[in-house]
Amino acid sequence: MAGRIQAWTDWANLAERRAVEKAGFVREGVLRSAVWLGGQWRDAVIYSMLRAERPGGEPM
């Protein structure tokens, strides 16, 4: 079983960021110029969820 899972999303994708947060992930920070997309470097936001933080304490 995993003790930690991660999710990344593009900084500009507000809908996906909201969905990840609604799922219970915690924002850890912004990774500047982390992804090359459409001919330019783009920032990404990284989220995580620890087993202890999972709603209901269910295993991942």
Q: How many domains does the chain have?
A: 1
Distance CA 40, CA 45 (A): 16
Q: Which pLDDT score is estimated for 60?
A: 54
Question: Against a cut of 0.85, is the pTM above it?
Answer: no
> Taking phi first (over 0 means left), then psi (-120 to 50 degrees means alpha), and beta for anything else, what does residue 17 get?
alpha
Q: Is residue 60 situated within a structural domain?
A: no
45 vs 21: CA distance, rounded Å: 11
At residue 15, the pLDDT reads 98
Is position 18 within any domain? yes
What's the pLDDT at 57? 61
DSSP code of residue 57: G
Domain that holds residue 30: 4-55
Sequential pLDDT tens for the chain (60 residues)? 788 999 999 999 999 999 999 999 999 999 999 999 999 999 999 999 998 877 666 555
